Amino acid sequence: MTLKGLLKTFTVLPNCRINIKFLVLLISAVFVFSCTQQVAKKETLATTPLTETTAQRILGDPSSLAMAYGGYRATSRDIQPIIPQLKEDMKILAAMGVGIVRTYNVHLQQAANLLEAIRQLKKEDDSFEMYVMLGAWINCENAWTDQPNHFAEDVDGNTLEIERTVALANKYPEIVKIIAVGNEAMVKWAASYYVQPGVILKWVTHLQELKTKGKLSKDIWITSSDNYAAWGGGGKEYHVEDLAKLVKAVDYVSIHIYPMHETHYFPEFWGIMKGEGDLSKEEKIHTAMLRARDYGVAQYHSTAAYLKSVGVDKPIHIGETGWASSSNGFYGVNGTKATDEYKEGVYYSLMREWTNKNGIACFYFEAFDEIWKDANNPGGSENHFGLFTLDGRAKYALWDLVDQGVFKDLSRGGQAIGKTYDGNKEALLKEIKLPPSK
C-alpha cells in the first residue's frame, strides 16, 4: 500500500478517530517496506543470470543504452575488425552505459568476431555486460545489379544468412537477445536490394516457428529494422496485407527515423523561423534541433497510429536514428547547414532524453565513424555519424563523459580517449553555421 492509499483508507472510514502515534508508526512501516522492495528489485536485476536477461528487460532501460555498431576501421570491409579491436570498442561503449549493440549481417566475419569478443570479456570480468541485436541481411533477387527484381528474393543467399544467424544465436545464447530480419529491406528508396513485406514475413515466421520447436531460444525477440514509412508510418503505398501480417508476427517493431536527411528532402521544419531573430546563436540552434527531434517523434507516433489501425498493440523501439557531424553534400555548409559536431551533440542529448523518459530503446547511429561507407568521398556524411572519430576522440556529444573520467585508461588503436577540438567549445562554435532563415 502506498502512503497516499493509507491516508485515503483513514479518510473514508466513518467516525474514525486516528491515533496519531499509531499512524506515524504505520506510515514508517510502509515506508521501510517500500524501500526494502525497491532495494530487493535492484538486487534482483543485478543478480539475474546473464542467460536469463531478455530483450524485454533490456529494451527501454535507461541504464542499458542501445547503440548501432560497426567496428570497421579501414576504407574497405575487406579488412574485418579483429577480436582485440572489438574488445577495445566494447569496453569503451560499456563505460558510457551502453548495454546492447546492433549489427547488420552475418555473412561477413565481424558479427561472429564480436560475439566471441564479448564472450571473452565476460569470462575476464563476470560483471561485464553487453548484449547483441543480431542482424540478418536480406536481399531481393539480382540485388546490387542494374536489374534488381523487387518482387522476388535471393532465396539461396537469404537462406544461408538466416541459417548462419540461427547458428550464432544458438552458439551465443547469453549474448544474442534479438534477431533483426533485414535492414531497411522494405523501404522503396533502398533501390538496390529492397523486397516486399511478404519476404520479411516469411523469415520472421520461420524464426518464430524455430522458437516454438525449441530450436531457438524462446526468449529471443524477432523483428525487422526499417524506415518508419515501411512500417506503415508513411504513405499508404506501404499499407499492404503482408505488412499488417508482419506487425502481428514480430515481437516488436524497430523503426528508423532521420530528421537530418529530411532537412534536405522535406525541409519545412528546418531553419530559423520568424520571431527567432533575437535569439543567441546557441538558442537558435537548440530551437531548430528541438523541432528536428519533434519531427522524428511525429514519425514514431505515425507508425504507432498505423499499428493501432490494424489492431496491433506492441512495443515500438528505435532501431536507428542519428545526426552526422560533417557533410560536403546536401547537409553541409553548401546545403542545409545541418551537420556539425555541435548540432550532432544537441540531437543526441534531445533524443536520449525523450526515449529514456518514455521507456523506448534507441539504437543510436552510430558509435564510431566508419570510413568505408563512402570510401571515394571522405567528406560524405555517411562517414561521419559516429559519436567517436575513427581514432577514438569523443565528439562534442560525449565531452562531458570525458570530463567525468568515464573513459579513463581506455583507448582505441593506441590513442587515449580525448576530446575533439581539444575540448575547446569556443573553437567549435566558431565553425558551426546557422540553419537557413525562413
Bridging pattern class, strands 362-364 and 411-412:
unpaired
- pLDDT of 52 reads 73
pTM: 0.88
Bridging pattern class, strands 253-256 and 221-227:
parallel
| Distance (Å, whole) CA 370 – CA 354 | 27
Q: Where are the domains of the chain?
A: 1-47, 59-431
Find out whether 337 and 281 touch, Cβ atoms under 8 Å: no
Tens digit of each residue's pLDDT (9 = 90 or more) over 266-314: 999 999 999 999 999 999 999 999 999 999 999 999 999 999 999 999 9
Tens digit of each residue's pLDDT (9 = 90 or more) over 344-380: 999 999 999 999 999 999 999 999 999 999 999 999 9
| CA angle in degrees (0–180, nearest 5) for 369-374-377 | 110
- pLDDT of 431 reads 95
When computed from its CA atoms, the radius of gyration of the chain, rounded to whole angstroms, is 24
Model confidence at 19, pLDDT cuts 50, 70, 90, reads very low
* Alpha-helical segments (H) within 368-407: 399-403
- pLDDT of 181 reads 99
How is domain 59-431 classified at the architecture level of CATH?
A: Alpha-Beta Barrel (3.20)
As beta bridge partners, residue 135 has 180
Q: What is the mean pLDDT of the chain?
A: 91
User: Is the pLDDT score of 430 beyond 70?
Assistant: yes
Chain-centre distance for alpha carbon 136: 16
| Distance (Å, whole) CA 136 – CA 90 | 21
| Distance (Å, whole) CA 124 – CA 117 | 11
SS3 state at 431 = helix
- pLDDT of 37 reads 37
Tens digit of each residue's pLDDT (9 = 90 or more) over 190-215: 999 999 999 999 999 999 999 999 99
Q: Would you call the peptide bond into 366 cis, given omega within 30 degrees of 0 as the criterion?
A: yes
User: Is the pLDDT score of 18 beyond 60?
Assistant: no
| Distance (Å, whole) CA 259 – CA 230 | 16
Tens digit of each residue's pLDDT (9 = 90 or more) over 56-84: 999 999 999 999 999 999 999 999 999 99
Question: In sequence order, what are the residues at sequence separation of 6 or more whose Cβ sits closer than 8 angstroms to the Cβ of residue 357?
Answer: none
User: Is the pLDDT score of 1 beyond 90?
Assistant: no
Question: In sequence order, what are the residues at sequence separation of 6 or more whose Cβ sits closer than 8 angstroms to the Cβ of residue 69?
Answer: 89, 93, 101, 102, 103, 114, 366, 367, 368
